[in-house]
Homo-oligomer: A and B are copies of this chain.
């Protein structure tokens, strides 16, 4: 099997006592490559391009395993099901409660807080998620007036 993947991650799997198998490599590869917001179905499809026989159950099992190992983690955005992302790195979202619109931002003070929390609770912190919830400008405009747009939001 050809794989151009971080030997480091493979080592982590091996050291934790797990076998290095084609489906696991495929899932790992997919998540490393895309990095963002793939749901189990999409991960299955992409993994099958790498290792055609990959089964759905194995994808779920692998995602659970990689989550346990702190390599990936599920993230819930809007009202979709879970998607998986690399467990390192931070995520910052503004989420509109009304329409579900998501805006990303960077710049975040959380890292310094993270350090403090590491000391305080003894966690070894690898990443964070900071989400603000509210109403986006567009939806505010809609709410404010009693125009046709407003009507569109009322029950049919």
Residues 103-131 of chain A: 1 if any B CB is under 8 Å from the residue's CB, otherwise 0?
10100111001100110111111111111
Tell whether, in the assembled complex, residue A130 and residue B110 are in contact, meaning their CB atoms are under 8 Å apart.
yes
Among candidates B110, B126, B136, B155, residue contacting A18 with C-beta atoms closer than 8 Å: B155
Inside 8 A of A11's CB, which chain B residues have their CB? none
Oligomer: number of copies? 2
Among candidates B74, B97, B123, residue contacting A70 with C-beta atoms closer than 8 Å: B97
A135 contacts partner chain B, Cβ-Cβ < 8 Å: yes
Tell whether, in the assembled complex, residue B134 and residue A126 are in contact, meaning their CB atoms are under 8 Å apart.
yes
Interface residues on A, range: 35 or more
Given contacts A109-B113, A117-B105, A126-B97, contact A133 B87 (CB under 8 A): yes
Residue ranges of A at the interface with B (Cβ–Cβ < 8 Å): 16-18, 64, 67-70, 73-74, 76, 79, 82, 87, 94, 96-98, 103, 105, 108-110, 113-114, 117-118, 120-137, 140, 153-155
